[in-house]
Chains A and B, each alone.
Chain A
Amino acid sequence: MVRFLSRRVLRALVSLLGVLTIVFFIVRINGSPAVLLLGPDASAEAVADLDRALGLDRSLPVQYLSFLRSTAVGDFGESLNFNRPALGLILARLPDTLLLAVSAFAFGLVVAFGLAVVAELWGNRTFRDALLWIGAVVQAVPTFLLGIVLILVFAVTLRLLPALGAGSATSLILPAVTLGCFEVALYVRLFSVAIAEQVGQDYVRTAYAKGRTKLQVTLGHVLPNAVLPVVTVAGINLGQLIGGTVVVETVFNWPGAGSLIYQGVTGRDYPIVQAGVVVVATLFILINLGVDMLYAVLDPRVRLS
């Protein structure tokens, strides 16, 4: 167990170093942010002064080493726009992003699980095919479009739910459902395939031979085995969800870290982008580590060694 964890943590640190290096150089591809910050009224002298004040007049390798040193102690520097520590700004908005991502994830997983179980118990092939077909259509619809349609129906026309922001508990419903619809479509397909694989197994036939009902076989035998491949994909998917809420956050004006990182990218606010990407990458790595451990718990054939 200790060896397993050590190896994983080491791998995670190497991955993080890779992320740090890539994000450091990518955000600097288009040159200094000073020209953007100061705008067209700035003289070349003013741009040079700001570059010097921000430490951007140094060579890239020197900046990179300095960046690694300060990052190692959790210092991502001050946001160029907000003049406050970038990590603090990201962490302040992270709970809203996590709330949105986890809600969408839970919505997707629970609804898909329920639909897949109903399809299996009912045994109606048309219903199952219809689910997969509808899922394919939902996956093909861009998230922003689905979000706008939901806003127009439930917020603008019916006035049942808030269109924007995170002002109340009901504010979460539309963005979470928008993000979660894609998850439902994904997991319905995964659950259906996994269940179909299991129902043909010998142990299922044995269970029926022992006089178990379809409900007992499905819930007691098929689902525990069918859930394993879904867990792996779900883990990776949750990580992707946390980093992929930007579009929904923008459409619903949701005050999460995703939209702040996007703002940082467009405004070339290096510290915000660096801190945001590292936080999201760390979460992604931690979730994957958790999934690996969970997999070992769920499947006795897998050992943490």
Chain B
Amino acid sequence: MNRSRRGTVRWLTPVLLAAALALAACGGAGSADAKPTSITVAIEQNVDTMDGLVGNSAPVNQIIGAALVKVGLDGSAAPDLAASWTSSADATTWTFTLKPGLKFSDGTPLTADDVVFSYETVLKNPKSLQGVYVSAVASVVAKGPGTAVFTMKSPNATWPRVATNLPIVPRAEYNPTTFATKPIGAGPYTVVSFNGTDTMKVAANPHYYAGPRAIAEATVQYVPDETTRLNGLQSGQFDAAVLTGNNVDVAKSAGLASESVTGSKVIYLGYDSGSGPMANEKLRQAISYGIDRSALVKSIMLGYGEPVDQMISSTTFGYDKNALVPAQDVAKAKQMVAASGYAGEEIPLRYPTGYVPAPSDLSQAVANYLTQIGIKVKLAPQDASAFLTDWLGKKLGPIWLFSAQTVTLEGAGTFKYVDVALNTAKDSPLPALYDTMLGESDDAQRAATMAQMNQIRTERAYYTPLFVQNFVYVHSTKFALPKPPPNGYLNPAYFTAS
């Protein structure tokens, strides 16, 4: 090294060190001993409008708002604003009794009149995305300040679960313009600020019926990319996020805590059972035997999942614990393919680039199983939103890989669209059974009908459920998550300081 280079190194070293120290100082460091009162959570569901009567951003509606009923931490339909509810024998009239002394975050009382106003506002607004959930309501009236009575258009035993979607807002204060960014609700937190598109700062609602939450302040940020959420957790910018598979292990190795719970998202193979090669029932049944579901969970989900042979998970109402997952039997599957008369034509396997975990790896693994039993498939990936549109339009072709999820943990939601709305089988008995189930106000009876539907679906192999994707909540060790929610939504209200 010559003299000039040595000189350069001599002055450059302290400059770089000083720069590094300055940057470290800019990064800031909090006291390690103090209990945190503020949390930053990264959520994968978008934060759009804050107005719960217009948008259907469920995490936002549950952080800021409160509905009549909520999904309990054990997956049940639990009281939220309503203390209790009853229905008529035919499930066409539902009466909700509110908890006493309810208040909105601004301190004004919450009454049945506000419930009526919230539902009627949605019913009158054709642009409201909440209309889908409320459309079953024929009318809603207040019977005194503490009771709201719903009359349904037709029998609807699932109504309490569906009512978890709509937050109640104050009639006197509601303004669609201001509520889009600064709503008033009765949920665990109240909005301090919203940047308009993806980040909101909230503070504990002092008037929340269950008392102010343990974490006084929170920042909720929409971060759709999972790698970005992982990077944010590792760098300490986020305190909590939901991750999957390998990312969970990376986060754990970085010293972060995690809780895994059975989720509500079922990954499955769907078929056009009404036309084309998959109208062949034997061929569909062969696939069910040809796939090793446990191996998929182990290799693709790295263990964060559960094999399943029904379209709903064990946390969801309507789950049939007697429906056992068939063991892989390649020889039997091959025999069934041979007996089906399948001519060996190549069948496209469509899959979305989102909505399912590790889409490329998973579809490749499924294709290998199908090839192993003698079915030729050609992988056909598609942009997630275009895929969803084609799925809703029944244009996906013979086989597709997709997910089904009911965030309200009400199996009827899945039954409605996979069995009734989108099943192409022409002779399916399921739509009639679905209508029967909707009229059964007795939960045990309704569960029995749903089990019957599960059984028919399995026998006819309308779908091949593969596994349930677990929700893994990863968070800083500064916080504890005593009871992780089964619906995959991160809510600061669930956290406490460690």
Q: What residues make up the interface of A, taking CB atoms closer than 8 Å to B?
A: 30-31, 35-43, 46, 49-50, 52-54, 79, 81-84, 89, 92-93, 148, 151-152, 155-156, 158-165, 168-170, 250-253, 255, 260, 263, 265-268
Contact = CB atoms under 8 A, between A and B. Distances in A.
Contacts of A36: 385, 388-389
Contacts of B236: 159
Interface string B237-276: 1100000000000000010000000000000000000000
B23 A161 contact: yes
Interface in B360-406: 383-386, 388-389, 392-393
Contacts of A266: 383-385
B49 A160 contact: no
Contact of B416 (A41, A148, A152, A263): A41
Contacts of B55: 81, 83
Interface string B2-41: 0000000000000000001001101100000000000000
Given A83-B176, A148-B227, 4 more contacts: A30-B386, A39-B132, A83-B49, A252-B228
Nearest to B21: A160
Nearest to A37: B129
A49 B421 CA distance: 18
Contacts, number: 139
Contacts of B126: 49-50, 52-53
B281 interface: no
A164 B224 CA distance: 13
Contacts of A79: 48
B281 to A, nearest CB: 25
Contacts of A54: 127
Given A92-B196, A151-B231, A159-B24, A267 B385 contact: yes
Given A46-B132, A50-B127, A160 B23 contact: yes
Nearest to B417: A40
B132 A41 contact: yes
Given A40-B417, A84-B196, A251 B389 contact: no
A267 B46 contact: yes
Contacts of B413: 41
A159 B393 contact: no
B228 A160 contact: no
Interface string B463-482: 00000000000000000000
A230 to B, nearest CB: 29
B417 A41 contact: yes
Given A41-B416, A251-B228, A253-B223, A159 B132 contact: no
A102 B238 CA distance: 28
Nearest to B196: A92
B122 to A, nearest CB: 12
Nearest to A53: B126
Contacts of B385: 30, 36, 265-268
Contacts of B180: 82-84
8 contacts: A50-B126, A52-B126, A89-B196, A160-B23, A164-B223, A255-B195, A263-B46, A266-B385
